[in-house]
């Protein structure tokens, strides 16, 4: 398993993961893959945006997105937000997402983050237990969502 930041060449693999295995996806409209590739190029260079992938046999099989947000609180320390945790069904329960979450946590520590939020759209007990087993407390702080 290789863990790394996503590159523009991962756009098709990421689209497959998101469209087939991510809650509340796919969108109804066709996707402009040039936009995906350009955004992935931007993410790859951005110190505060981490779209991490787990690669196996040359294919992206799992991904986690984390943004580091600068903050004036907690002695001017940033915090991190993780979303879009998804793994291809053929590769689940093999440690890919756990390894990505561990790497994301390491990156957050390297950036001096005082906390990491993990957002999920899932209420499945198995999913929530997975996050608990990876060190995330459920319902310690609440998110409020406003769709735009």
pLDDT for res 55: 97
In a domain, 78, yes or no: yes
In a domain, 140, yes or no: no
pLDDT for res 138: 84
Structural domains of the chain, count = 1
In a domain, 62, yes or no: yes
**Residue 73 exposure: Cα atoms within 13 Å on the Cβ side:** 4
pLDDT for res 99: 98
In a domain, 138, yes or no: no
Which CATH number covers residue 104? 3.40.630.30
In a domain, 143, yes or no: no
- For residues 25 and 7, which has the higher predicted lDDT (pLDDT)? 7
Would you tell me the crossing angle of helices 11-21 and 33-45 to the nearest 10 degrees? 110
In a domain, 139, yes or no: no
Q: Note down the domain range covering 91.
A: 2-133
pLDDT at 25 over 70: no
Which among 4, 101, 93 is positioned nearest to 43, based on CA atoms?
4
Model pTM score: 0.90
In a domain, 105, yes or no: yes
Averaged over 28-55, what is the pLDDT? 92
- Which residues, listed in sequence order, are joined to residue 116 by a DSSP beta bridge? 80
């Amino acid at each position: 398993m290789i863990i790394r930041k996503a590159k523009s060449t991962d756009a098709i693999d990421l689209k497959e993961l998101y469209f087939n295995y991510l809650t509340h996806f796919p969108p109804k409209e066709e996707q402009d893959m040039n936009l995906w590739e350009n955004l992935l190029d931007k993410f790859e260079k951005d110190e505060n945006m981490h779209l991490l992938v787990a690669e196996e046999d040359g294919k992206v099989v799992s991904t986690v997105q984390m943004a580091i947000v600068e903050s004036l609180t907690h002695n001017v320390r940033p915090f991190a937000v993780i979303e879009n945790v998804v793994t291809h069904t053929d590769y689940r329960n093999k440690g890919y997402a756990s390894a990505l979450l561990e790497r994301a946590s390491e990156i957050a520590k390297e950036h001096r983050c005082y906390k990491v939020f993990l957002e999920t759209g899932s209420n499945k007990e198995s999913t929530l237990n997975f996050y608990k087993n990876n060190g995330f407390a459920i319902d310690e702080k609440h998110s409020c969502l406003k769709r735009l």
